[in-house]
Amino acid sequence: MINRAVLVGRLTRDPELRYTSSGVAVASFTVAVNRQFTNQQGDREADFIGCVIWRKAAENFVNFTHKGSLVGVDGRIQTRSYDNQQGVRVYVTEIVVDNFSLLESKSQSEQYRQQHPNDQGSNTSQNVNPANNNFAGSTNNSTPNPNPNNKQGSNADPAKNADPFADSGQQIDISDDDLPF
């Protein structure tokens, strides 16, 4: 059986960190993920997907993200139910996050936050298609593309697209021993 979910979107609010009675950290947050199509008015609608992350990853997530942060999460879908204070059965479907990636630098995140002070993540104009947002993997320590304007496949400047590290200022030294084949 397979139960995997990969989401790329913006946080609708600051993540909420709590601790269980045994001291285990747990954070909950909601990711707004734009749909691939537009409605009749030409706006992109978004889905708001609840997520939960546990232990040290939860503490790291809370420390490095805030409302409006562009994140990638990888996890599994979980359903559960409970009786609320009024005795009504409540059903919850959420993503239990295994890994996350920060998909923009701190300065980009702050710039987005200043430009969208009232944004709750709904109908953002940025396309969150994973092919277009530099989502490079599902590790807790991956870094965003150093040149976010360099989109693979764009026709702007084919010479720049040939080398993804051209503008990063980093030298890459790979020996034959580093290659997997």
What are 60-71's pLDDT values in tens digits?
999 989 888 899
Q: Encoding tokens for residue 46?
A: 């978004």
Chain centroid offset of residue 129 CA: 11
Residues 6 or more apart whose CB falls under 8 angstroms from that of 21 comprise none
Asked whether residue 163 is domain-assigned, the answer is no
Asked whether residue 171 is domain-assigned, the answer is no
What pLDDT is stored for residue 138 in this prediction?
Answer: 36
Residue tagged 């051209």 (tokens): 166
Chain centroid offset of residue 170 CA: 25
Buried b (16+ CB within 10 A) or exposed e, 131-144: eebbbeebeeebeb
Asked whether residue 85 is domain-assigned, the answer is yes
Q: What is the CATH number of the domain that holds 36?
A: 2.40.50.140
Q: Encoding tokens for residue 119?
A: 């944004």
Q: Mean of the pLDDT values across residues 161-176? A: 56
Q: Mean of the pLDDT values across residues 149-155? A: 41
What are 7-47's pLDDT values in tens digits?
999 999 999 999 999 999 999 999 999 998 888 888 888 99
Asked whether residue 165 is domain-assigned, the answer is no
| First CA to last CA distance, the chain | 31
Q: What is the extent of the structural domain holding 58? A: 5-144
What pLDDT is stored for residue 105 in this prediction?
Answer: 78
Q: Are 103 and 133 in contact (CB under 8 A)?
A: yes
Asked whether residue 122 is domain-assigned, the answer is yes
Domain count, the chain: 1
Q: Are 41 and 69 in contact (CB under 8 A)?
A: no
Residue 150 pLDDT exceeds 90: no
Asked whether residue 174 is domain-assigned, the answer is no
3-state secondary structure of 157: coil
